[in-house]
Structure 1
């Protein structure tokens, strides 16, 4: 594949991911969950809050509306380009969760949404969060537990296989249930955990299921015929209003 073709594929993948994220972010449950995360941050007007793994920047813009100096951080250049295009007045920086571009004790709030499951060493990210947060600063972590994804299907055994196979390809698929331990190990105080289950029935979420199946199929966990039959069933469910995906989201908060 030529460099041009690779660039085209990367652009297509980014656009597909943005479409999935936008569809999910517009749902009422997602809106309420973001609002809850802002509440737990206890934002102080004028203080600096960093949104790690900011993606296309929606949370950065919403935090800025609450009067804080919000900074979005993400390692993906294409995501950052999309964020800057959408929110030209917001501040974004290219960096990973393990190496943040902030001085020690320089931020009042730290937020990471759907980030820790892709990290190989989430403890390093927690240590970095502790470094940049000032004493009394707040941290809020949000994310799904990929092993606990629930999808209605006629074939429960195959569904479990697909869910677990996809989870096993991630860095830390069960990060959500580990948030409390990670924050305690990182020296944080007042650690609290909530679980909010979001239910998705919109046919637009079929793209999420396709992104679930393809890596599992490519990795050999299931055969191509099995995967195609499973996706066909989910498409039929979407066409008849019977698609159902339930995702438990863990929300952990603590004080530095």
Structure 2
């Protein structure tokens, strides 16, 4: 389970990706977490900031409002098209995190928010982050460890099975716990790690929970009957104001060495 989606397949029945990302951007604590990333990056007038996995471009627009010379990249052409529509004064490009279309050392700040779990080899993205950052530039990585979600449920053992089955469908589900090591391995110093927790109790977040059960069935980890019983429990909780989902989010920052 996560407050961000994994890559979609033709068998999935999820809302359009942009709609999911919009909901995530307005989840409790999301704005404060973005603001913290700008603070850790030292965003100020003239800061050259690159947002990798920019989605609809919100962070690029917010950083620009703080005076940064900001740009965003995303591998999804639909995301970039949406970002350009929403923020016509900003710069966006289609690009992979491990193959950025920029020369060495041209950015002061590198931001990757809920991105690295989508990559089979997150280290390649960190190598690119170091390459495109100027010496002394800052990188901030934010994301969730897909195994460390907390759901209130009647059947704890079944919940753990469902959560872990969903995590195993993600390319790098546990990369957030590796953020510190990845930064150190790729020549970053002054590395720090912080954690915040998104606590979701509103019924509108129920599809995030039911999507877990659907994914677990597709993975063969639980039976349709088990998933149905678990979903019924979650639906009851949502309709009686008893729904509870907590997602720890890790933010790691580091400075590129000389």
TM-score past 0.5 threshold? yes
Uncovered stretches (5+) of structure 1, i.e. residues with no partner: 1-8
**2:68 aligned residue:** 68
Supply the RMSD in Å over aligned alpha carbons: 1.7
Structure 1 Cα separation of the partners of residues 86 and 203 of structure 2: 25
Q: Answer whether contact 2:117 2:171 (CA < 8 A) is retained.
A: yes
Structure 2 Cα separation of the partners of residues 232 and 25 of structure 1: 28
**1:201 aligned residue:** 201
Aligned-pair distance for 1:207?
2.1
Structure 1 Cα separation of the partners of residues 206 and 41 of structure 2: 33
SS in 2 for 1:97: coil
Q: CA offsets, 1:112-170, max 9 Å, x none?
A: 00011111111111000000000110000000110101111001111100110111111
Aligned-pair distance for 1:38?
0.7
Aligned-pair distance for 1:47?
2.8
Aligned length: 247
Normalised by the length of structure 2, the TM-score is: 0.91
Structure 2 Cα separation of the partners of residues 110 and 82 of structure 1: 21
Q: Answer whether contact 1:141 1:252 (CA < 8 A) is retained.
A: yes
**1:85 aligned residue:** 85
Structure 2 Cα separation of the partners of residues 13 and 142 of structure 1: 26
Normalised by the length of structure 1, the TM-score is: 0.92
In the TM superposition, structure 1's runs of 4+ consecutive aligned residues that sit over 6 Å from their partners are none
Q: Answer whether contact 1:20 1:207 (CA < 8 A) is retained.
A: no
Name the stretch that deviates more: 102-111 or 215-224. Answer: 215-224
Aligned-pair distance for 1:14?
7.9
Structure 1 Cα separation of the partners of residues 22 and 208 of structure 2: 12
Cα 1:211–1:91 change in 2 (3 A) is farther
1:96-245 aligned within 5 A? 96-245=96-245
